[in-house]
Amino acid sequence: MIKKLSRLLVVLVLAASTLAVIPPPKAHAIQQERIVYGTDNNRSIVSINPDGTDKQVLSEGYYPQISPDGTKIAFIKSDSGIENLYVMNADGSGIVNVTGTANTQSIDIRFTWSPDGSKIAYTKVITTESPGGPISTSRIFTTTIDGSVQNDLTADTEGPHVYGPSWSPDGSKIVYTSVEDNVASIYTMSSSNGSNKTLLVANASLPQWSPNGNKISFESDFGDEFGDTEVGTVNPDGSSLTAVTNNSGFDGQEKWSPDGNRLVMLSNCNCGDPSYIRSINADGSNSTSITTPSEGGDIAYPSWSPDSSQIVFTAYDPGAGDPLNYRLFTVPVTGGPAIQVYADGDGVINPVWGELGTAIVDTTAPTVNSFTLNRKTSAQTENFVVTASDTESGVASGEFYYGSDPDQGNGTAMTYDGSQLHGTLGTNMPVGTYQVYVRAVDNAGNWSNPVSTKLVVTQTGTTRVTASGSFTPSTANGDQLPSLDTASFKLAQYNQNVSFGNSGIANSSSASFTYTYGSSVLCGLSPTLPQCHRLTFTTSGNAAITSLIFSGTNNSRATVTGTAQVTVDGTTTTNPFQITAVSSSRAGSGSNSYRINIYNAGSSIAPENLLYTTSNTGTVNIN
């Protein structure tokens, strides 16, 4: 009995392993540009349109950060004096405490989303009692966005304080600040387990990984005896250490542009004037002042718009009297008048400009419209477009193939411009007629069914064959026709006009053959006489003729294949056929020739299936 159960278990396991694995539907976001900020007075998270309309209070909290896909917002919230990290949906629903810190712990405001939006790296400050008083240390953790998995990355930290994590764009590393003996340095480590901790820059802090992964920015005094803070950059491997700024005063709070090519930062001259915003290339070139020291009062928290065209920031108006009266502004990145977006009486802090979205599950495949392809030569590259659309997550890309289906994602790639898929048929296609298939995939991973059309590939300068003639068939020529050895009268006539249209064999194409035979010469005049017989062969358009291929010297040979109606003494069958015509003028030698092969009904074109064959010289033109 145990053996039978074991065998049954093996069978069930093997059967289950053969079942297709159907991936679950993917989520995508319907997005809208919003500015999200915290308030300094009543500690609330607020969402607002970039023009200042539609203000929405989402939750208690401060220092918001938008997830990469825009569907979530992470933020700090104080619970009875203990700060925790929370995550909520972009509309303020589904609030979750993801850290759950104890009363001897708190969360630092400098946290960062993983590139795929599945985790958050944050700093936990831990306070312990000692004979000399409370001692604070810090650790960098990662948490899943539901708080179920916490991972301490710096249990073996180099110093008592680590903070300010920033994730690499590929998600594999985290760069952070470690302080030991009152000296801050920048390190990198594995984001999965904190291994491979590597010193990157000494005497530096608050690193930020560029979105393109090429650079890491940071703040440092670069050994300045007066302690002026500058912005620097370094390659992820520690090379190309560069002081991006070199001014008396302060440069910091830098933020990378979404493309990773420029930095925006706060600057001041250390001369009593308010701070101003400027942008600069990652190598320190092309510094541009975006605001002036007198514009908007004391300025803070600059951040980029998603398209890198504008900067959002806060500014304090000393004339307003309220020290918490920081207002919300936007300004073009090229400089110009700053626009006050909102004057929140509770004070605006840490605004971030992003594309907020509501996560939905998209199970609908894209729509691919029908299309046609122009005839092309084998040496010709042909660009073509196919209209495609998707009303939910949007079309991501597409692919095409001909011949057997290579499976989704393995065809020849097609790009998408917002309305059409773009593909290129190369010069590697032999002469022939093809069925070309196109399909699209949306941003949620759903593939459309393939849509196909016919493509004709020809040689350069040859698109038509015509042939005609009358002759007497003979077994001496290898002909094989009814009563060929016994009939006293035999007459064959043929006519062919086959050409390519723009997307296949032209509808006007045709081929015909008539063989009249009998025991009387009168059969040539009256083939319906009792002693006379007839075999006819006819085609009609592209329903019967399926291919036209040119070959031989100077394309002197034309081969036509398809199916035809073959009638012998009133009995009709549908038979496959092959006609070969040779033009002596193209070949440069020999004579014109013509052969028609008719194969058994229901069979394929193969020597063993040959039913009738005949050949002769005659008029053949290939052009």
H/E run at residue 488:
none
Q: Three-class SS string for 264-321?
A: EEEEECCCCCCCEEEEEECCCCCCEECCCCCCCCEEEEEEECCCCCEEEEEEECHHHC
On whether residue 39 sits in a domain, the answer given is: no
- Cβ distance 45 to 64 under 8 Å? yes
Could you report the per-residue pLDDT of 427-445, keeping only the tens digit for each?
Answer: 878 877 789 999 999 988 9
More confident residue, 492 or 413: 413
pLDDT at 8 over 50: no
> Is the domain of 505 the same as that of 555?
yes
Rounded to whole angstroms, the Cα distance separating 362 from 583 reads 59
- Residue 8 domain-assigned? no
24 lies in some domain = no
230 or 28, greater pLDDT: 230
Residue 19 confidence (pLDDT) above 60: no
Least confident span in 28-32, 139-143, 341-345, 454-458: 28-32
* pTM for this predicted structure: 0.58
Q: Which of 88, 148, 149, 99 is nearest to 124 (CA)?
A: 99
Shared-domain flag, residues 297 and 150: yes
- For the ranges 36-40, 290-294, 366-370, 373-377, the lowest mean pLDDT is seen at 290-294
Range of the structural domain that residue 524 is part of: 464-622
pLDDT at position 297 over 70: no
Please report which confidence band the pLDDT of residue 530 belongs to, taking 50, 70 and 90 as the band edges.
confident
Strands of 40-115 (E only): list them.
44-48, 56-60, 62-66, 72-79, 82-89, 96-97, 105-107, 112-113
Residues 165 and 195 occupy one common structural domain:
yes
Whether residue 278 lies inside any domain: the answer is: yes
Within this chain, do residues 397 and 519 fall inside the same structural domain, yes or no?
A: no
**pLDDT score recorded for residue 9:** 32
pLDDT of 2: 36
271: domain CATH number is 2.120.10.30
**Band of the pLDDT at 273, cuts 50, 70, 90?**
low
Residue 30's pLDDT band, with cuts at 50, 70 and 90, is low
For residues 465 and 622, the answer to whether their CB atoms sit within 8 Å is: yes
Domain with residue 389: its CATH number is 2.60.40.10
Number of domains in the chain: 3
Residues 170 and 231 in one domain: yes
Higher pLDDT, 288 or 438: 438
170-228 per-position pLDDT tens digit: 999 999 999 988 889 999 999 999 899 999 999 999 999 999 999 999 999 887 655 68
Residue 351: helix, strand or coil by DSSP?
Answer: strand
* pLDDT of 3 higher than 50: no
Domain presence at residue 222: yes
- Has residue 16 got a pLDDT over 80? no
Number of H helices, E strands in the chain: 2, 47
For 159, the 3-state DSSP assignment is: coil
Dist. CA 460–CA 31, nearest whole Å: 50
Per residue in 238-256, pLDDT (tens digit) is 999 989 988 777 888 899 9
Same-domain pairing of 248 and 105: yes
Residue 587: other Cβ atoms inside 10 A = 18
- Looking at the predicted structure, is the pLDDT value of residue 154 above 50? yes
Closest to 163 measured CA to CA, from 139, 193, 144, 136: 139
The token duo for 328 is 């919300």
Please check whether residue 48 lies inside any domain of the structure: no
* pLDDT mean across residues, the chain: 84
Q: Are residues 573 and 609 in the same domain?
A: yes
For residue 510, being part of any structural domain is answered with yes
Paired strand residues for 529: none
Are residues 540 and 558 both part of a single domain? yes
Hey, how many other C-beta atoms are within 10 angstroms of the C-beta on 179?
17
Spatial contact of 539 and 562, defined as CB atoms under 8 Å apart: yes
Q: pLDDT-derived band of residue 529, with 50, 70 and 90 as boundaries? A: confident
Q: Do 107 and 248 belong to one domain?
A: yes
The answer to whether the beta carbons of residues 596 and 513 sit under 8 Å apart is yes
Whether the per-residue pLDDT at 29 is higher than 60: the answer is no
Question: Which of 392, 425, 458 is the last residue in one of the domains?
Answer: 458
For position 451, what pLDDT does the model report? Answer: 96
Of 443, 458, 473, the last residue of a domain is 458
Whether residues 469 and 434 fall in one domain:
no
Contact by Cβ (8 Å): 520, 528: no
Regarding whether 482 and 555 lie in a shared domain, the answer is yes
Same structural domain, 400 and 516 = no
